[in-house]
């Protein structure tokens, strides 16, 4: 079962909701104060039946109009006081609970930034979005209303029944008879509703994922005319969610009917019994009126139990879903180096892989590792090209350097220091990256580029844009202040890739990791970028994933990666002569790797190989 659809933990509703206490604790005084105000307001409402008893047994019986008007004034004042107190309660909780929701959302966002890449590989973005929006909104609503009124209604029912028993204990016992069946009904409802609520909230996450993917992939949908299939997929998920929500509605209807019917029957029985006692002279009319008024005043607190339980269950589920993410361990923190890494000046910029191995966290035990026994030394100031067939592990190897993934075995050192002993902040100051699929954010061109270096200014921005041949940015409507839009889709693929490259070099990093950074460029722009990039590579130690001979020529040496292992290391010309697989990859020939080799073209470069192919 996927992580985002994990089985609910074996916790009760109360245990789940108690996990919110660290967030509620700072505003507990306001919440408890608001609950106390609401209890006082409910108690004011319970005084109204006592005033009615006084009016009936006093002024009405004595035919005293003045007393009746006085009683009416008392009732009006009590009603105004009750309304004012409930208004004060609402004012007391609105601001602090908005702060609780904001704090939880900020913590969730911060935590997501610190979770390992493997977590984001497994989880659908829609599931995370629904937790940050829908679930947190449910929790705010729970803290504002159901939590308070579970306390308030509980206190109101308790105080109300004490008043009923004091007025006429025999009638009070009649009204207590539904307690046992109602408790049983509530327990059954809680069990069933919990599962349905969890399923509904997970399905909301699935639906959010589909909507997000459809928006981001609208060009693909339009380009391939997949509107209908996407609409059918969305409709299927919508129908599934609709079915689940109807199941929730049926459960709510069932408990609401039961909780309404059973007390009504008890009130009816008490009315009949009380009327008989009044007729027999054992009970005054005022007492019966007060008793029935109190019983009717307790109808809402009793009948709302189903509604409050339902919201509590949904909130408990939302809490579980929130903490499913928050409980995931963040990337291991820094255990060491905050200052400059160790190593002599002669080794300034050395990168070494020693027996590095990598398996994905969800790989089967004993499975073949993605990378196995990687031993590689990149000298200070050297550029190493990584070449290999698709799936050989090139991108995975580069992702280990900035610790986007953690090596399963072995170690990687920078200037003699194991990267696992560095703080991630320090490591990512030293190492800069540019990926084959460039990601831009909904911000300006300048802001996107300057994300690559803390504190960089206009000079560094202009320099980086020039190196990446991204001076087109100055010609945009608002220059480098132009908003690029979501995912940077207002720009071409080559423009996005050049901005990503500018982001990688803006901070003059000591180590540079480039994952085929020129794949989306045309031949002429590629040549210009390569010429400028040579200046940057001369000042840094770099790994460059390369698929084309022109990119390989940027490197001092080449490492051939084959089936997760380093098969050969040497210069471009050395590998052309000694490695049939490398020659095959560079030639782009079809068939087995031993097809075109340097033996066939002893004096030709990779570019000459391609030209030779064209003449055959």
Residue 394: exposure state from Cβ atoms within 10 A (0-12, 13-18, ≥19)? buried
**Sign of torsion over alpha carbons 179, 180, 183, 188:** negative
Q: Please state, in angstroms and rounded to a whole number, the distance separating the CA atoms of residues 370 and 374.
A: 11
CATH, range 348-570: 3.40.50.300
Question: How, if at all, do strands 371-378 and 541-545 pair?
Answer: unpaired
Residue 587 has pLDDT above 60, yes or no: yes
- For 3, residues 6+ apart whose C-beta sits below 8 A from its C-beta are 122, 123, 324
- Range with the lowest mean pLDDT among 3-12, 33-42, 45-54, 395-404? 3-12
Residue 80 has pLDDT above 80, yes or no: yes
Could you tell me if 149 and 304 are in contact, meaning their C-beta atoms sit under 8 angstroms apart? yes
Residue 199 has pLDDT above 70, yes or no: yes
| pTM recorded for the entire structure | 0.68
pLDDT band at 117 (very low <50, low <70, confident <90, very high): confident
Domain spans in the chain, listed from the N-terminal domain onward: 12-200+254-326, 348-570, 572-616
| pLDDT tens-digit map of 448-467 | 888 888 778 888 889 888 88
Residue 13 has pLDDT above 60, yes or no: yes
| pLDDT tens-digit map of 39-74 | 888 778 777 777 777 777 777 776 777 777 887 888
Degrees, nearest 5: CA angle 434-439-442: 135
Could you tell me if 488 and 552 are in contact, meaning their C-beta atoms sit under 8 angstroms apart? no
> Which has the higher per-residue pLDDT, 525 or 434?
434
Provide the token pair at 471. Answer: 């001076």
Degrees, nearest 5: CA angle 372-376-377: 160
CATH class of the domain whose range is 12-200+254-326: mainly alpha
Average pLDDT, the chain: 80
- State which of 13-22, 55-64, 89-98, 337-346 shows the largest mean pLDDT: 13-22
pLDDT (average), residues 119-141 = 85
**Sign of torsion over alpha carbons 284, 289, 290, 294:** positive
pLDDT band at 330 (very low <50, low <70, confident <90, very high): confident
| pLDDT tens-digit map of 244-295 | 888 888 888 888 788 778 888 888 888 888 888 888 877 777 777 777 877 8
Provide the token pair at 114. Answer: 């610190």
* Helical segments of 224-332, H only: 227-279, 285-297, 299-326
Q: Please state, in angstroms and rounded to a whole number, the distance separating the CA atoms of residues 256 and 304.
A: 8
Structure confidence at residue 497 (pLDDT): 79
- Range with the lowest mean pLDDT among 302-306, 577-581, 595-599? 595-599
Residue 521 has pLDDT above 60, yes or no: yes
Residue whose token pair is 């689940």: 244
For residue 478, the 8-state DSSP code is T
Provide the token pair at 84. Answer: 């004012």
Q: Do domains 12-200+254-326 and 348-570 have the same CATH topology?
A: no
pLDDT (average), residues 103-113 = 90
């Amino acid at each position: 079962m996927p992580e985002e659809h994990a089985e609910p933990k074996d916790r009760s509703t109360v245990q789940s909701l108690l996990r919110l206490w660290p967030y509620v604790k700072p505003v507990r005084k306001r919440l408890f104060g608001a609950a106390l105000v609401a209890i006082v307001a409910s108690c004011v409402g319970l005084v109204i039946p006592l005033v009615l008893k006084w009016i009936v047994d006093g002024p009405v019986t004595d035919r005293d109009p003045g007393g009746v008007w006085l009683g009416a004034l008392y009732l009006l004042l009590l009603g105004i006081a009750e309304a004012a107190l409930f208004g004060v309660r609402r004012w007391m909780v609105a601001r602090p609970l908005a702060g609780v929701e904001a704090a939880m959302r900020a913590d969730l966002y911060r935590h997501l930034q610190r979770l390992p890449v493997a977590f984001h590989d497994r989880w659908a973005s829609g599931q995370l979005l629904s937790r940050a929006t829908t679930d947190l909104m449910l929790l705010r609503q729970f803290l504002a209303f159901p939590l308070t009124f579970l306390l308030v209604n509980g206190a109101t029912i308790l105080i109300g029944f004490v008043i009923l028993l004091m007025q006429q204990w025999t009638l009070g016992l009649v009204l207590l008879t539904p307690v046992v069946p109602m408790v049983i009904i509530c327990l059954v409802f809680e069990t069933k509703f919990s599962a349905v609520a969890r399923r509904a909230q997970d399905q909301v996450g699935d639906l959010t994922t589909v909507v997000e993917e459809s928006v981001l992939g609208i060009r693909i949908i339009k380009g391939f005319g997949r509107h209908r299939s996407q609409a059918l997929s969305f409709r299927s998920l919508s129908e599934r969610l609709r079915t689940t929500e109807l199941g929730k509605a049926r459960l709510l209807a069932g408990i609401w009917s039961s909780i309404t019917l059973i007390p009504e029957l008890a009130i009816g029985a008490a009315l009949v019994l009380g009327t008989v006692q009044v007729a027999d002279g054992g009970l005054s009319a005022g007492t019966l009126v007060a008793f029935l008024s109190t019983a009717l005043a307790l109808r809402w607190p009793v009948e709302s139990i189903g509604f409050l339980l339902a919201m509590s269950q949904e909130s408990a589920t939302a809490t579980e879903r929130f903490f499913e993410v928050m409980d995931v361990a963040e990337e291991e923190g820094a255990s060491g180096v905050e200052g400059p890494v160790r190593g002599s000046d002669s080794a300034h910029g050395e990168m070494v892989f020693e027996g590095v191995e990598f398996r994905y966290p969800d790989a089967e035990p004993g499975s073949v590792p993605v990378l196995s026994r990687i031993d590689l030394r990149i000298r200070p100031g050297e550029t190493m090209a990584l070449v290999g067939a698709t799936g050989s592990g090139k991108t995975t190897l580069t992702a280990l350097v900035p610790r986007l993934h953690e090596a399963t075995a072995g170690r990687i050192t920078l200037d003699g220091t194991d990267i696992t002993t560095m703080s991630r902040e320090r490591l990512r100051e030293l190492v800069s990256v540019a990926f084959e699929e460039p990601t831009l954010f909904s911000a300006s061109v300048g802001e996107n580029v300057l994300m690559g270096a803390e504190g960089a200014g206009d000079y560094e921005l202009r320099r980086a844009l020039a190196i990446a041949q991204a001076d087109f940015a100055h010609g945009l409507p608002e220059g480098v202040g132009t908003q690029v839009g979501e995912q940077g889709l207002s720009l071409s693929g080559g423009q996005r890739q050049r901005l990503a490259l500018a982001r990688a070099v803006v901070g003059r990093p000591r180590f540079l990791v480039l994952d085929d950074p020129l794949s989306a460029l045309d031949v002429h722009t590629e040549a210009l970028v390569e010429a400028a990039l040579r200046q940057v590579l001369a000042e840094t130690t770099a790994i460059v994933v390369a698929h084309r001979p022109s990119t390989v020529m940027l490197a001092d040496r080449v490492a051939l990666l084959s089936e997760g292992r380093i098969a050969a290391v040497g210069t471009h010309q050395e590998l052309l002569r000694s490695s049939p697989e490398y020659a095959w990859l560079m030639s782009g020939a079809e068939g087995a790797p031993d097809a075109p080799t340097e033996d066939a073209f002893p004096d030709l470069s990779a570019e000459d190989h391609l030209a030779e192919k064209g003449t055959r």
